[in-house]
Amino acid sequence: MSKSLKNLWGRFLFRDKGVLPTKKLVLLHALLSLSFIIASFFVAISWPVIFLLNGFYLLFSLVDLVFSPSKKAVKVERVLPAEMERGITYPVQIVVDNPTDEAMICELKDGIPQSFVRPFPLRAVVEKGSRKSFTYNTVAPVRGDYKVEKLFLRYNSRIGLWKKQIVVEQSHSVIVIPDMTETKQYLENAQRFLIHEGVNIRKQKSGVGEFAKIRSYVVGDDPRKINWRQTAKLQEVMTNEYEPEHGKYITILVDCGRMMGAELKKGNRLEKSLEAALTVAAAALQKGDYVAVLAFSKKVKAYIPPAKGMPHLQTILKAIYNVQVDAAESNYAEVFQYLQLVQKKRSLILLFSDVKTFLHEESALIYLKKVRQRHLFFMIGVDDETLVTRAKTVSNTLEETMVKGVAQQQLLIKKREKSKWEKQGLLMMEAREERLATAAVSHYIDTINRGLL
């Protein structure tokens, strides 16, 4: 296909600038031709007459095109958020300025990436001498960096025989980060978020922690913490309240290997792990702890050294928002070696990975034993709901019985391997995808409250 034909095809597909005939022009020309055919049965019409009438019709349409609003006079502006969360709906605004003395029937198409939700074309009438705002909603399902450069506008001529199409060059950079909904929910109401299996996380080792404040005594408080001096002053029973010591080190490991690409109800395992990791990081930073994050697969992909304070959450987010699943298997031995070099302080290591794959990594057990001598280790993964469902399914046929038997066997193997690792002091668990962040934060809070670090 020649370059001119490609440009013409792109124009019809709303991807190029130029002029296009409308349905009205084609329909009127079809009616004119049909009239000539019918008239030819009754009156002899010569070819010069037919050519002359078609020429007049074409000239009339060109006059309509010439007196349509100029492309240079029309101005288009896009308002697009610079940062979007994966799977969240965002409004995008496009403003069309029509300074001419004629109303325009417009069609708009934005040049956002193909992976975004694209509700185009947008149609509306922009009155003469006015500005019209077009708003559409879009969703970005894939994290990453994106460039939005072009904006396409079509508008009809005065009579509507032609359409002019213009391409507006407006470059915008958009980054799509993980869904931060759970992180925001935790920051808004931590206690409600941490209700895990119906029990509020309040357990704290007695006599451990920093003094926080003096408050009124309530039923259930430890009588040993009553502040008798303040009680005598105020003639009301007052008690001391303690909170866990701050300044602990939390190291979050995020696996980006092949198995983390397994699809879930919403996204894949890596997406849910990133969201849970960011929630744990926000919880720890809010408590005043130091947080380090390491993303890896075959080799280390990103490492953020430990720091404290909520601004550090943005540092973590900028470093890991674009990590993707690799086709290679994860190299746990290398990442634990690297961790021993960079993390000298005793810390709680939270590993987000696929438990089933990890259990068969015998070489990782050797390095983990060394890591366990200095650090606390906890691994959490997404539960394989398909396997659990098939293991519980009532079987009615031989094939269903075989599938159920294999699923139950896999669960028993996993349970046996987990028991072997846990005897070495290496705890691990699996949670449903919607409970992954809750389970991870609950374990972190429980570890801090019990003074294990």
247: left (phi over 0), alpha (psi -120 to 50) or beta: left
Q: Which of 178-192, 339-353, 427-441 has the lowest mean pLDDT?
A: 178-192
Q: What percent of the chain has pLDDT over 90?
A: 28
User: Residue 53 has what pLDDT?
Assistant: 78
What type of residue is 383?
Answer: D
Q: Which of 314-328, 360-374, 378-392, 403-417 has the lowest mean pLDDT?
A: 360-374
Helices (H) and strands (E) in the chain, counts: 14, 17
pLDDT, one tens digit per residue, over 98-130 is 888 888 888 888 989 988 998 888 888 888 888
Sign of the torsion angle spanned by Cα atoms 297, 303, 308, 314: negative
Does pLDDT of 266 surpass 70?
Answer: yes
Does pLDDT of 3 surpass 80?
Answer: no
pLDDT, one tens digit per residue, over 133-149 is 989 999 999 999 999 98
Burial class (CB in 10 A: 0-12, 13-18, 19+), 46: exposed
pLDDT band at 300 (very low <50, low <70, confident <90, very high): very high
Listed residue (176, 168, 177, 175) closest to 111, CA to CA: 168
Listed residue (335, 427, 412) closest to 380, CA to CA: 427
Does pLDDT of 8 surpass 80?
Answer: no
User: Residue 195 has what pLDDT?
Assistant: 47
Does pLDDT of 420 surpass 90?
Answer: no
Tokens encoding 403: 């599938």
Determine the Cα angle at 250 with ends 249 and 252, to 5°: 150
pLDDT, one tens digit per residue, over 29-82 is 888 888 877 877 777 777 777 788 778 888 888 888 887 877 788 888 999 999
Q: What is the mean pLDDT of residues 175-184?
A: 92
User: Residue 359 has what pLDDT?
Assistant: 81
Parallel, antiparallel, or unpaired: how do β-strands 290-296 and 300-307 relate? antiparallel
Q: What is the mean pLDDT of residues 446-453?
A: 82
Strand partners, 228: none
Q: Which domains does the chain have, with CATH numbers?
A: 3-59 (no CATH), 75-177 (2.60.40.10), 210-243 (no CATH), 249-449 (3.40.50.410)
Q: What is the mean pLDDT of residues 164-183?
A: 90
Q: Which of 7-16, 229-238, 264-273, 331-340 has the lowest mean pLDDT?
A: 7-16
User: Residue 250 has what pLDDT?
Assistant: 95
User: Residue 394 has what pLDDT?
Assistant: 85
- DSSP codes, 87-130: T-EEEEEEEEEE-SSS-EEEEEEE---TTS-----EEEEE-TTE
Q: What is the mean pLDDT of residues 157-179?
A: 88
Does pLDDT of 12 surpass 80?
Answer: no
Indicate the average pLDDT of the chain: 84
Does pLDDT of 203 surpass 80?
Answer: no
User: Residue 158 has what pLDDT?
Assistant: 81
Instruction: Compute CA distances 77 → 82, 110, 125, 151, 407, whole Å.
Output: 15, 11, 16, 9, 57
pLDDT band at 2 (very low <50, low <70, confident <90, very high): low
Q: What is the mean pLDDT of residues 406-433?
A: 85
Q: Is the peptide bond before 121 cis (omega within 30 degrees of 0)?
A: yes
Q: What is the mean pLDDT of residues 167-194?
A: 83
The helix (H) or strand (E) run that includes residue 162 is strand 162-177
- The DSSP secondary-structure symbol of 142 reads S
